[in-house]
Structure 1
């Protein structure tokens, strides 16, 4: 596993874009992205935002084969840079008309965050042709060693992901259908 630096940004964006571009089911990414003919650009803008946020407020890891990556967030605080990134995201990805529904989603997520300090497993992606080959599991297990003793939190919308995370030791602590897709909130007290 490699801890990413800003020099690996293009690798991380390409992994994430390829992992999510053809996933068209209702989920958090598709809920956020403005629906038009610019899906490629809007998805890249979202992944760019998530990379920058994770580099500033957490960590990004890439599998040794560079076919998977995972983004963690620790503690987010206000800054002019963060506000600038959010404005850029609004115009390049979300769209003005989607602002209120996206804010509603963010408030919903925050409402169910654990009350104690946690590491947020914010996003993970594996290149499509390598999915199901253990790259994601290996990457998560390697990152968990780094966060021994920490509470790890993740949310997902896809039932297959629930099985994946449960196999890694996560448990569901909340489920909601308040948006147009299900949201499952999972956590793990990391003892690895």
Structure 2
């Protein structure tokens, strides 16, 4: 039986991200109706948040929480393999073989599209704000805790989005489109976006030249 740690926040991420083609594909062959699919995707979100705590960074905004970001950091090969095996075991156990196949195929394709220089960058794997809290300027606050840190340490970050309307928001946060790709399993385009760190001098952030 699955044990939640962040059940309410998992529901918020479910509400925010269920239109995403990636998650639609993971749930495509799940038997049952919306309640069953909601429960399964909530487990995925909860697991991903716990995974972020262990292997990367998890930030949670609001009290009660209205959103979260999950960041992956570069790992040594053994730890990265451990993380991957645990995630795939979770998907197989709680989402089924078809979901695991879709996840593995999409992930393999998307990894192949990345520039090798991004291996040292932080990856924004999940970011979501529950719909009732969207449109209030909260998204920037949700990201800035980590972006301030990566700026201070001279670290690049990147993300992938299937959602065109997210592009302008991420551009305002300093991201630039590096590549547009057509993902074959979902049949949808997505965009790889990269953010170079701001320059820091004497504790003060300066704009990029």
Q: Establish whether TM, by shorter chain, passes 0.5.
A: yes
Task: State the partner residue of 1:69.
Answer: 68
Aligned-partner SS, 1:159: coil
The answer to whether the Cα contact below 8 Å between 1:49 and 1:89 also exists between their aligned partners in 2 is no
Partner residue of 1:160 out of 161, 165, 172: 165
The answer to whether the Cα contact below 8 Å between 2:56 and 2:72 also exists between their aligned partners in 1 is yes
The answer to whether the Cα contact below 8 Å between 2:7 and 2:42 also exists between their aligned partners in 1 is no
| Count of aligned pairs between the two proteins | 181
Task: State the partner residue of 1:28.
Answer: 22
Alpha-carbon shift at residue 114 of structure 1 (Å): 3.6
Whichever of the two has the greater Rg, that structure is 2
**Aligned CA distance change for structure 1 residues 8 and 100 (closer, same or farther; 3 Å):** closer
Q: Extract unaligned runs of 5+ from structure 1.
A: 1-6
Deviations 1:139-187 (Å, cap 9, x if unpaired)? Answer: 1123210211211110000100111111111111111113211111000
The answer to whether the Cα contact below 8 Å between 1:45 and 1:89 also exists between their aligned partners in 2 is no
Mapped partners of 1:56, 1:91: distance in 2: 20
Task: State the partner residue of 2:46.
Answer: 48
The answer to whether the Cα contact below 8 Å between 1:67 and 1:135 also exists between their aligned partners in 2 is no
Alpha-carbon shift at residue 91 of structure 1 (Å): 3.0
Partner residue of 2:16 out of 14, 19, 22: 19
The TM-score with structure 1 as length reference comes to 0.84
Aligned-partner SS, 1:133: coil
Task: State the partner residue of 1:4.
Answer: none
Partner residue of 2:124 out of 114, 121, 125: 121
Q: Is 1:139 paired with 2:142?
A: yes
Task: State the partner residue of 2:101.
Answer: 100
The answer to whether the Cα contact below 8 Å between 2:68 and 2:142 also exists between their aligned partners in 1 is yes
Q: Extract unaligned runs of 5+ from structure 2.
A: 199-204
Deviations 1:108-152 (Å, cap 9, x if unpaired)? Answer: 111123423000011111111111111111211232102112111
Task: State the partner residue of 1:3.
Answer: none
Cα root mean square deviation, aligned? 2.2
